[in-house]
């Protein structure tokens, strides 16, 4: 096995957050990491983002909550989680004991709630950064902050000013102009933007004349959305001076390299973890050779090197 750290410089800076390498796992697709410890060498990951937490526990949406589609997965989990207190008690001690940076994904009911959760986590110690999920398509308030530039800027600024942790702002692709939202997050002081959350979709049982998901609509992920997320990364990289974390349909080393060249400084693997739980390890094995093909052994030389036609 090629150990990446031995052969190349994979370090990445996302504003105030430094990662040992650019390969992270995406929120909601890797549990709280403990579930994966028998399968994945967690210490090799560039970053771990556990399932989004909210201040109070949430039961999530009624079933069905996942449906397979052509090259994709539709989900309407609805931010099912045990709430902040339970996360701090049951999951955070394990997560911060790992060698990989832990980026805690949070979702608030409103601006004050985001700040409150951020403060609690800041005080816990050991958390590397926060990912602000302002883009969940499966909860009523989820996308307000992510689709309105003013609200986006305000919530980012409020968290940034009231918390010492680096902040990654995760945006939705379900907007007309992703650049506007990324610029707003940058103006609010985010350290990086994460592009993208899932694409709003639905599945129908025409014989029963009913939607298949309990929530009627849900978020599409997996290879089906890769061109959309890649386009978002490219457009933002061309227009806004902010580090980008790419996520959406990434399933192999070529997908990763496409995102890096298009402008991402790091990537997250989501749905692919479900059908190939060791995918991150394979990608980490293959990354040094892939960047060497572009004539460097320093990863930081790669992001945004695309030459637009």
Ligand X SMILES: Cc1cc2nc3c(=O)[nH]c(=O)nc-3n(C[C@H](O)[C@H](O)[C@H](O)COP(=O)(O)O)c2cc1C
List interacting residues with ligand X (CB under 6 A).
Answer: 26-29, 51-52, 73, 75, 77, 79, 105, 133, 136, 170, 197-198, 221-222, 225, 247-250, 269-272
Which of 215/271 has CB closer to ligand X? Answer: 271
DSSP 8-state assignment for residue 295: T
> Cis peptide leading into 38, omega within 30 of 0?
no
Which of 14/26 has CB closer to ligand X? Answer: 26
> Cis peptide leading into 98, omega within 30 of 0?
no
DSSP 8-state assignment for residue 198: P
Question: Which residues, including other chains, have CB under 8 Å from residue 211's CB and lie 6 or more apart?
Answer: 202, 203, 204, 205, 217
Q: Are strands 210-211 and 204-205 parallel, antiparallel or unpaired?
A: antiparallel
Q: How far is the CB of 28 from ligand X (least distance, A)?
A: 2
Strand, coil or helix: 244: strand
Q: Which candidate in 13, 124, 136, 256 is catalytic?
A: 136
Which of 8/166 has CB closer to ligand X? Answer: 166
Q: How far is the CB of 4 from ligand X (least distance, A)?
A: 21
Q: How far is the CB of 205 from ligand X (least distance, A)?
A: 20
Q: How far is the CB of 78 from ligand X (least distance, A)?
A: 9
Which of these, 28, 50, 45, lies nearest to 281 by C-alpha position? 45
Q: How far is the CB of 246 from ligand X (least distance, A)?
A: 9
Which residue's CB comes closest to ligand X? Answer: 28
> In this structure, how many other beta carbons lie within 10 angstroms of the beta carbon of residue 138?
23
Which of 94/275 has CB closer to ligand X? Answer: 275
Residue 41 CA to residue 56 CA, distance in Å, equals: 31
Q: Is 136 a catalytic residue?
A: yes
109, with CB counted inside 10 A (0-12, 13-18, 19+), is: middle
Which of 137/288 has CB closer to ligand X? Answer: 137
The catalytic residues are 136
């Amino acid at each position: 096995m090629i150990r990446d750290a031995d052969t190349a410089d994979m370090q990445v800076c996302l504003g105030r957050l430094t990662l040992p390498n650019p390969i992270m796992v995406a929120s909601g697709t890797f549990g709280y990491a403990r579930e994966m410890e028998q399968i994945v060498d967690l210490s090799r990951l560039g970053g771990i983002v556990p399932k989004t937490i909210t201040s109070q526990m949430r039961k999530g949406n009624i079933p069905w909550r996942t449906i397979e589609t052509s090259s994709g997965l539709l989900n309407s989990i609805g931010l099912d989680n045990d709430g902040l207190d339970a996360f701090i008690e049951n999951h955070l001690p394990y997560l911060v004991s790992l060698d990989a940076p832990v980026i805690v994904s949070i979702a608030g009911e409103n601006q004050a709630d985001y700040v409150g959760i951020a403060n609690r986590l800041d005080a816990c110690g050991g958390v590397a950064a926060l990912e602000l999920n302002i883009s969940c398509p499966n909860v009523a308030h989820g996308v307000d902050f992510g689709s309105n530039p003013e609200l986006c800027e305000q919530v980012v600024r409020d968290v940034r000013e009231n918390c010492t942790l680096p902040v990654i702002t995760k945006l939705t692709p379900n907007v007309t102009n992703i650049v506007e939202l990324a610029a707003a997050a940058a103006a609010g002081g985010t350290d990086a933007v994460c592009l993208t959350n899932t694409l709003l979709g639905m599945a129908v049982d025409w014989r029963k004349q009913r939607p298949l998901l309990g929530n009627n609509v849900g978020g599409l992920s997996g290879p089906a959305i890769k061109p959309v997320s890649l386009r978002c990364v490219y457009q933002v990289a061309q227009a806004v001076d902010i580090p980008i974390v790419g996520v959406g349909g990434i399933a192999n080393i070529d997908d990763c390299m496409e995102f890096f060249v298009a402008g991402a400084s790091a990537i997250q693997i989501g749905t692919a973890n479900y059908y190939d739980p060791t995918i991150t390890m394979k990608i980490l094995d293959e990354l040094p050779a892939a960047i060497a093909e572009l004539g460097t052994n320093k990863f930081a030389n790669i992001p945004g090197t695309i030459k637009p036609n």
